[in-house]
Structure 1
Amino acid sequence: MKALTLYQPWASLVSIGAKRIETRSWATRYRGPLAIHAAKVFPKWARELCSRITFSEVLFSPEKHCYTSSLDLPFGAIVATCILAECCRIGEDGLYRLDSNQIDPPKWFAPLPGYPEICFGDYTPGRFAWLFKDMQPLPEPIPASGHQGLWSWESPEVIA
């Protein structure tokens, strides 16, 4: 199974379904099953984001999730699986399929996501939006070493 490593708090935002779009500076042609991996490191700038109201209201709501602070977030582990359904170019006014060209109208278009999801990514025109569906958070994180880019992960039979 392919895997993608994300820093916290984004890995948990994805796993709980609050972030359905991952923004990247690069595109991928891969579509299919994807494991979401929470990076082992937790940079200071990422820790500071957890205290912002947009992030804390979503992540640390006791009635919605089991996290009470950034110390509860999982690190160095697979936290969810999903389907990478699409990868789109981000334009001034929305998301465009990569197979559309500049001359003809785009074959597919969707408006940019609304608040708060737009706060969870970098939607600068020219970047790429990776659209996730069928998110399945794991009951318990599975320890794993992450890598940059898309990488291969051997999933245990329990979730395969």
Structure 2
Amino acid sequence: MSTLPLPEGDWIRGITVRQPWATCILVGKSPENRPRPWSWRGWMLLHTSQQTDRAALRLPPVARTIRGRELPTGAVIGVARLTGCHQDPDSAPPCGPWSEPGRWHLELADVQELPLPIPARGHLGPWKPTEDLVDQVLQQLPALRP
């Protein structure tokens, strides 16, 4: 475990995503679709909302991706690094199989699943986690650093 102190300031944020989409991100879904662009870049806690998108459970790509996996809600289930945000040009093909036309696409990298979900509250848009929540995440992923 690293003994180096974490830097001061804003090195990590949270993103709240409904299930089963959050679990799909853990398994490789990219990009994450959003209605507005995000200017912030860096590490993000992947938090699941209290609500599940029931209709999404019936979509074949989603069903294949989450098969056999638990879908915890109201918890941090992993981390990812937000590396960019873009929107596909109108005449261009989609940037990936999960991209939705007309939406902003969050480009996520270095996705890591937590061994145990951490119950937590999230918010709309990028949110700043408490120091205690970050400490709990670092107990499970001690090598995570900005």
Which category of TM-score, normalised to the shorter sequence, fits these structures? 0.7 to 0.9
For 1:113 and 1:28, locate their aligned partners in 2 and report how far apart those are by CA, in whole Å.
17
> What amino acid is the match of 1:51?
R
Paired AA for residue 148 in structure 1: L
Query: Do the aligned residues in 1 keep the contact of 2:79 with 2:113 (CA within 8 Å)?
Result: yes
* Alignment partner of 2:55 out of 48, 58, 62: 48
Aligned pair count reads 125
- From 75, 78, 96, the equivalent of 2:76 is 78
What is the one-letter code of the residue matched to 1:76?
G
Q: Partner residue of 1:11?
A: 22
Match of 1:106 in 2: none
| Distance in 2 of aligned mates of 1:73 and 1:84 | 22
Normalising by the residue count of structure 2, what TM-score does the alignment of the two structures yield?
0.77
Instruction: Report if aligned partners of 1:23, 1:123 keep a CA contact under 8 Å in 2.
Output: no
| Superposition map of 1:1-160 within 5 A | 1-17=12-28, 19-42=29-52, 46-60=53-67, 62=68, 67=69, 72-94=70-92, 112-115=94-97, 117-118=98-99, 122-124=100-102, 127-154=103-130, 155-156=134-135, 157-158=138-139, 159=141, 160=144
Please list every run of at least 4 consecutive aligned residues from structure 1 whose deviation after the TM superposition is greater than 3 angstroms.
Answer: none
Q: Are 1:36 and 1:81, in contact at CA under 8 Å, matched by a contact in 2? A: yes
* Structure 2: gaps (5+ residues): 1-11
Unaligned runs of 5+ in 1: 95-110
Distance 1:2 1:25 in 2: 18
> Deviation at 1:90?
2.4
CA distance in 2, matches of 1:141, 1:123: 31
- Using the aligned pairs only, state the percent identity: 27
Q: Check whether the contact 1:38–1:76 (CA below 8 A) recurs between aligned residues.
A: yes
Deviations 1:27-68 (A, max 9, x none): 1111111111010122xxx212202222111110x4xxxx1x
TM-aligned CA deviation for residue 25 of structure 1: 1.5
Q: Which residue of 2 aligns with 1:98?
A: none
